[in-house]
Amino acid sequence: MVRLRSARRPTPLVPGPRRTGAAIVSHFYLSHVRTVDEEWVAAFFHDLCRAVAQRTGRSPEAVGVRGKPQSSEVSVDLLGRSTVLVVLHSSRYFSQSYCRAELSYFQRRLNMQRSRTGRSADAVVPVMWEPDFTHPLESVVPYPPLSLRSEAYRRDGLLHLLRLKARYRSEYEEVLKAVADRIVAAAEQLPEVHGFDASGSHSPVGAPAPVGSQEVSFVVASSAKDDVPGERHSRQYYGKTVLDWSPYAPGDHEALVSLVKNTATALDFTANVLPLDEESVDRIVREQDPEQLVVLLVDAWVALRREEHRLLAAVDERNPEATTALEPRARDDTESAEWAVTLDELLDRTLPRMRGRHSEYERWKLRDAESFTSSLRKVLIRLQNEALKSVEAVQSPATPTEGHHTFPLLGRYSS
């Protein structure tokens, strides 16, 4: 029987997949921080699979794999059946145990390959997802970098190119081509690592020393349903307690708190969620380190409650380099839209320092959960970068061991 070739198949083709027992070998495994930037990671994964498929004649579904986006489990089976590890590096990469395990597994495979054959394989492709100014990519992932002309990539990373793809399409396609070319050039299957404990503690070669989890306090300035100002008629956003305030999902009284905690946890922070009351203000203003990060989650309607003005003022006067505010104001909340001028004026009077402070990101009138999460992540990422610098300063032999602040400053990134 004569088998016809498809005229649309790209040429020349690299060798097709080999089989390990009954398992088909994948060309690459994408290692990345999960639960955050998922839509962008998925978009890049999809594009990369298509690019590799075009070069190999295989289907896009067969050339690449990655871990489950909402899980921290490490699949040794998927790692062992992949030829190349593509690392999307950011400041949070080495804070995730599964990322360290994935890179460690491939490093062991490379060591085994070198000891058996005397050759070094190009099986780890480092990609700058976001810039890490404390630990640059080339210093923590010691493998050949991508050879690119794009200044935007070197300055801002791949995530920036993806988000502004309309502007940086050619630069994005340059990165995509470079990664795909590296993947298909690595035709040699590495040995598997038997007995690898994916759940164990791993320290890949080049990885920075782990930084302890930073604490962040979220102070919710809102109302319980029974205490909502009389002018506020849309009470579906409120519940039995202040912490039940749900500006984006009326009726789901754990939505905002869960969103805040999940976002903080994904970035390796310990989140404390507190109501705006005397005890909480005492804790963050008087009892705790004044440089501990505090994020005020403010419901504009709370400014109508005069009894809350003193507490809001206390937070507003706190160290500006470690205190910021985010104001959810849902697009679907028509009552808040009708009262917008009054609410804005009240916030200006109640939180004059925070409202007058310049910011690199949106903080007020955050219309949906996506924009809120984006701003929240920017706050926490800035702190995390500063925390790494703070830890390095403490560990320096030339630096005194006493008199340091426990928590880092946000510096110019705060607002």
Which residue segments constitute the domains of the chain, with CATH numbers given?
Answer: 19-185 (3.40.50), 214-413 (3.40.50)
pLDDT, position 66: 96
Vertex 280 angle, CA 278 and 282, to 5°: 65
Q: How confident is the model at residue 358 (pLDDT cuts 50, 70, 90)?
A: low
pLDDT, position 45: 98
Least confident of 7-21, 34-48, 143-157: 7-21
Q: How confident is the model at residue 200 (pLDDT cuts 50, 70, 90)?
A: low
Least confident of 32-46, 79-93, 342-356: 342-356
Tell me which range, 131-135, 288-292, 318-322, 405-409, is most confidently predicted by mean pLDDT. 131-135
What is the crossing angle of helices 340-350 and 309-316, to 10°? 60
pLDDT, position 291: 60
Q: Where are the alpha helices (DSSP H) in 239-368?
A: 255-266, 278-281, 309-316, 334-338, 340-350, 352-356
Tokens standing for residue 374 = 């984006």
Tell me the pLDDT tens digit for each residue of 247-305: 998 887 777 888 888 888 777 777 888 888 888 888 777 655 556 788 999 998 888 88
Burial class (CB in 10 A: 0-12, 13-18, 19+), 303: buried
Q: How confident is the model at residue 48 (pLDDT cuts 50, 70, 90)?
A: very high
Q: Say which residue, 341 or 381, is predicted with more confidence.
A: 341
Q: How confident is the model at residue 397 (pLDDT cuts 50, 70, 90)?
A: very low
User: What is the chain's alpha carbon radius of gyration, rounded to the nearest angstrom?
Assistant: 25
Least confident of 55-69, 147-161, 196-210, 293-307: 196-210
Q: Which residue has the tokens 């909402």?
A: 70
Tell me, rounded to whole angstroms, the distance of Cα 129 from its chain centroid.
10
Q: Say which residue, 212 or 128, is predicted with more confidence.
A: 128
How many angstroms separate the most distant Cα atoms in the chain?
A: 87
pLDDT, position 294: 87
> Which of 46, 134, 40 is closest to 94 using CA atoms?
134
**Rounded Cα distance, 230 and 243, in Å:** 20
CA atoms in the 13 A half-sphere facing the CB of 7: 0
pLDDT, position 264: 83
Answer whether residue 5 shows pLDDT above 50: no
pTM of the prediction?
0.53
Q: What value does the mean pLDDT take over residues 379-396?
A: 56
Q: What is the mean pLDDT of the chain?
A: 81
Whether 144 and 208 have beta carbons less than 8 Å apart is answered as no
Q: What value does the mean pLDDT take over residues 113-132?
A: 90
Q: Say which residue, 323 or 47, is predicted with more confidence.
A: 47
**Rounded Cα distance, 403 and 394, in Å:** 10
What is the crossing angle of helices 369-395 and 255-266, to 10°? 40
Give the percent of the chain with pLDDT over 90.
30
